[in-house]
Each structure stands twice: as structure tokens, then as C-alpha cells.
Amino acid sequence: MGKKAIVTSALPYANGEIHLGHIASTYLPADVTNRYLKLTGMESYYVCASDDFGTPILIQSEQEGKTPAEYVAHWNKRALDDFSSFNIGFDYFYRTSSEENISFVQDVFKKLNDAGHIYEREIIQFYCDNDKKFLPDRYVKGSCPHCNAEDQYSDLCENCGRVPDEIVDPKCAICGKPPTRKKTNHYFFKLKNFGDSLSRWLDENQHLQKDVKKYVQNWIRSGLVDWDITRDISWGVPIPLDAANGKVLYGWFDNHLAYISATLKFLNDKGIDGKKFWNTADIYHFIGKDIVYHHYLFLPAMRLGIGSEYKLPDFIPTRGHLTLQAKKISKSRNWYIGLKEFLQYYPADYLRYHLVSINPYSQDDLNFDWDDFATRINSELIGNLGNFVNRALEFTKKEFDGKVPEYESFDEKDAEAEQKIRSLAADVGDLMKQNHLDRALKKIMEFSSHFNQYFQHKEPWKNGPGTANCVYLSVNAVRSISIAILPFMPESANKIWMQLGLDKKISAKWNDMSVLGMSANHALGYTSPLFSKVKSKDIENHKKRLGTIRTR
RNA sequence: AGCGGGGUGGGGAAGCUAGGUCAUCCCGGCGGGCUCAUAACCCGCAGUCCAGUAGUUCAAAUCUGCUCCCCGCUACCA
């Protein structure tokens, strides 16, 4: 690991609210990682942006009678508000429709074009005379030529799972009228040119997940297809060629370039050489498994295509999708939970705790279950961690006037407890470095559990010999917990810090959690339980809301 | 159809990439303890021999083959 890092996560598409699925696979893991990296003393920045362009946004904004720019401005702000209330701590949140990104993208396009990686070809596209629009695949519906299922998108039949070569009885998805076919000139990116170099990059990068690599290598082996990067619409980055005649670039050509352009804007404004920083930093792109292709093929190919002027990613942590009550998330069936809604019920840290603990470092899907949520919060977060923090601090208040006692010589159990503190930073840190955030969090819970046992066995309430040691070590363990959970549950971490009578915000670094930093006679602050329990009656209500159509 | 991932005590999950020290963790059940702590916490017990089958091996949940059953993905769709 170097000293600098840039952390990004998949860009939220600016046409809807953030829900639990978004944060579970990308934003939360990225945020936890960024906070961890900062805590270890690295200069790490978490940069993100709203993804503003594309046909769905154009059509939706028209239907709402807004300009696309107004429309995306609304969702950009809404996304940032929601993320902020969930303590996703972006260092910078920008947008793909920014001037900086547009000119950066056009510059990349020109460079790729000059290097011979772009060519022009005439293709036939569906065109709707009624809506006066070319219709990309998602906007044509019809019957599947393989299984005859009706009302299928022309790019994928949901019934048989195959990709139709030629959809039967095509209809415009917007107005329902049959489209015509029209010739149009499109620009293509020669992805074929990059098969070997992509394959080599995948082999050489030791940080990428093995299963994802295998998946992508299979794809390369079966032959890459050149990539159509053109859209015949008005809302996008204009292709910087006279002959392009107002055509724009496909959203997936421009959006990931905002990782770079937003970073440059942010760092240059701070007076840092952004390009130099980028090329000497560890680059992390956190994504969900749905966009593996874009990040393991298109994105690196484009960076290779401009001579690796900006380095390729070191880490592309890829995680699975979230299901709700074991069923796929679906907005139209109201089978989803908006982030904003969730935060009206429970504190951000509850969700952060739960989502990290059920989220492995793999492409496996993870399931959000309301009962499981309640159990985990009540028995683990509160019963184990919250209880230990509270009992240790309360006991000190009651029996030692709120002051950390002087310790005496340690017995075997004390020595073992001290050792747990000494090794915590390394134990948890090892897992963090490997991106195993779920296991790291479990390690912290094990630590807390050990101290519950320790406290129980020492029976300090009987005020026998060794009581002072028990309290001294327990209060120190609370301090360790506070630092350790900072990346995961920043609010609770700082709350504990204050209860310990330290500053308002944690100033310690990661390794400080393995130091006995609470010395004798230090006075604790105001203490109170950190969490309150999740009630089963509320859980039942939350479950009922799923799947029912809400009126607003 | 192709590719990928799974099937572990009543429920939910680890472990399996480096085979033995593995049967672990949480919930639930039963019994006990403690009373500092949010009826929290601690201790103990019952229950699986790790989908099935055939192998490799001194040794397999962990490797290989086959069978059955689940699930996900499939390029311009974020």
C-alpha cells in the first residue's frame, strides 16, 4: 500500500432515489474503506459524481416537463443529501454533466481517435416517427423470436433469458407505435484491439478478485466486440467532430471518466497536482457486479487507449446485489426500501452495521431480512458491543467516581485482556487491507465479546482484589472499540469517545487502538446507552409496507 | 443454452484459494450462574459427521469425477 489513495464508487444515475441496494454493494464499502485509509494516515479521497446523461433521463425529464439539466440537478442534490445523512463522507461529489467532465471526455475521445481506436460505420437503428427519436434497444419492445414471449425488451428476453437477434413485431416503448428503420452513422471504439493487453493487465494485477477475473477472461477469450459509443440524442457529451453533426457519446463512454475529471477538479482546486496524485495513488473503484464489464473491459481499455496517461485501477472491489426478504429489488412492485425512508426509522449506524456484517467480499448476493436486522442489532450491536461499553463506563462512574483507577500487577486474565488490546489494530487491520470488511467487523465484535466475558469473570461488582485492573483494562478496551468502529459507525464511535471524556471527535490514528491510552485518574464524560433496541412491532410494520403500493 | 456461484445441527451464516489442530459463530430450545449493565451479561447441555455417490490420500466439509436440487449473470441494459 502506498501513501495516497483515490476511492470511487459507481456513479448514481440521476433519475431516482438511492435505495438500500445501492449503498450495500458500493457506497458503504467504499466509505468504510476510505475512512479506514484516512485513519491509517493515508491521504485518501473519496470522489463521486452523479451520472447525468442518457436516454432514460432525457425521456423522463420530457415527461415531467423539465429540461434535462433541471432534472438531473434535482437528483444530484437529492442523492448527495441522502448520502450525507447516511454519513457517506465524500470528499467531493460532482456530476458528469459538468463542464470539466465534458471537456475531459472530449479530449479523451480525440486522443483515442488520433490513436486510431475509433472508427465510423453506418448502422440501421429503430426510429420512432411519432416521438422523433432514435430508439436504443431498451426502448423497443416486442415478441421474443426464440420463445414468443410478448412485451420483451429488444436487448433481452426476460422469459427465456436469451438475447433476441431480431425482435418480432417491434413497438416504441414510449408511445407504443411501430418504429421504422433508419440509417445513421455511429462511432465505434475498437475494443477488439485491446483483448491481449486487457488480458495481460488482468493477469498481472494481484489485487483483483479471482472469480471476477476468471469471468472477464472468459469473455475476452470468446472474443471482444467493438463498442458502439454513439447516441442520436441531444442530451450527452457532444462528439467533438464536425462530421458528428450533434450526436453525443454513449453514457458509458463518459461516465467513468468522471472518476478522473472530478478528481482533477477537486485536487487542482486544492492546489494539488491532480494528475500526479492520481498516478501515484492507489486507485479503488467500488462497483456492483452489474457493471463488471464496464469496469474490467471498457474502462481499462480506454485508459490503455490514451497511453495510460492516467493509471489503471489497482482495486475494483466488486460485490453482489442486495435482495429484500430473499426477493429481487423492484421499484415498480414497491419491493425496495429507499435510503431516506430507512433513516426515518433507524440511525445510520444500525444500517451501516447490519449491511457490512452481511456483505462478504465477493459477488455473492446478500439478503436484507427485517427479522435478521432486528436480531443482529439487538443481540450483537446492542447486547454485545453496546452493553459492554455501557457497563464498563457506568461501573466506573458508580464505583470509581468516574475516574480511571490505578492498576496493579496483572493476573493471567488481565494479561490476556491486555494482549487482546495490543493485537487488535493488527488483527482487524489485516482484514481491512484485504477488503474483508465483514470479517473485520466480526473481529471487533469478538473483541467486545471477550471483554464481556472478562468483565463477568472478574466480578468487579464484588469489589475484590483485581477490581481496579478489570476496570482499568475495560475502559481501555472501550477506547479501542471506539477507534476500531470509526470507519464502520462514525457517529457511535465519536459518541463513545465523548463518553470517555476525550475530545468531541476522535483524533487518534488506527494503531492507537492498541495502546492503553486511558491513564489513571482520567475523568470520564457523560455516559448513556449508545443504542436503543429495535422493536418487533415496528419490524412487522416495515415488512407490511413492502410490496404494497403507497400513495403519496 | 452458455458461463459463474452454491447446497454445513430447527433458522441464518462462516470455514473450504494453502486437506489433518473443524465442526465454528449468531438466533432459537433446555438447564444453571450473576446482578455492574438496555430482562442485558456469563456458564453448561441437546442437536449436524458438512446434498448424494464414487474416488485420490496415512488423513477431506476442504481435492477429483458423476448425479440431484437451488441461484445469479449473459456486452451497449448503469
If phi over 0 gives left and psi between -120 and 50 gives alpha, with beta otherwise, what is residue A401? left
Q: Provide the CATH number for the domain formed by A374-514 in this structure.
A: 1.10.730.10
Q: Residue A552: its pLDDT value, please? A: 38
Considering only CA atoms, which residue is closest to the C1' of nucleotide B40? A383
Q: Residue A183: its pLDDT value, please? A: 84
Beta-carbon count within 10 A of A110 CB? 15
* Percent of chain A whose pLDDT exceeds 90: 59
Separation in Å: B54 C1' and A165 CA: 43
What mean pLDDT is predicted for residues A379-403? Answer: 96
Chain B bases closer than 7 angstroms to a protein Cβ = 1-5, 12-15, 17, 26-28, 33-38, 40-43, 71-78
ipTM of the complex model = 0.90
Residue A551 pLDDT > 50: no
Residue A431 gets which letter from DSSP?
A: H
Separation in Å: B5 C1' and A17 CA: 30
Q: Residue A151: its pLDDT value, please? A: 66
Closest nucleotide to A450 by C1' from CA: B42
Separation in Å: B65 C1' and A222 CA: 27
Report the alpha-carbon distance of residue A406 to residue A391 in Å, rounded: 19
Separation in Å: B15 C1' and A436 CA: 15
pLDDT band at A1 (very low <50, low <70, confident <90, very high): low
Domain ranges of chain A: 4-109+252-345, 374-514
Q: Residue A158: its pLDDT value, please? A: 55
CATH superfamily name and code, A4-109+252-345: HUPs (3.40.50.620)
Considering only CA atoms, which residue is closest to the C1' of nucleotide B27? A375
Report the alpha-carbon distance of residue A95 to residue A107 in Å, rounded: 17
Report the alpha-carbon distance of residue A200 to residue A353 in Å, rounded: 38
Separation in Å: B4 C1' and A108 CA: 34
Closest nucleotide to A229 by C1' from CA: B76
Separation in Å: B69 C1' and A323 CA: 21
Separation in Å: B38 C1' and A155 CA: 54
Say which residues have a Cβ less than 8 Å from residue A34's Cβ, sequence separation at least 6: A5, A7, A44, A45, A46, A89, A91
Closest nucleotide to A442 by C1' from CA: B25
Give per-residue burial for A62-82: e unless 16+ CB within 10 Å, then b.
beeeeebeebbbebbebbbeb
Are residues A74 and A249 in contact, defined by beta-carbon separation less than 8 angstroms? Answer: no
Q: Residue A226: its pLDDT value, please? A: 87
Are residues A256 and A13 in contact, defined by beta-carbon separation less than 8 angstroms? Answer: no
Is pLDDT larger for residue A234 or for residue A156? A234
Candidate ranges A212-221, A275-284, A292-301; pick with highest mean pLDDT: A275-284
Residue A97 pLDDT > 50: yes
Report the alpha-carbon distance of residue A343 to residue A143 in Å, rounded: 42
Q: Residue A182: its pLDDT value, please? A: 82
Closest nucleotide to A154 by C1' from CA: B77
Are residues A70 and A237 in contact, defined by beta-carbon separation less than 8 angstroms? Answer: no
Q: Round the average pLDDT of chain A to a whole number and report it.
A: 89
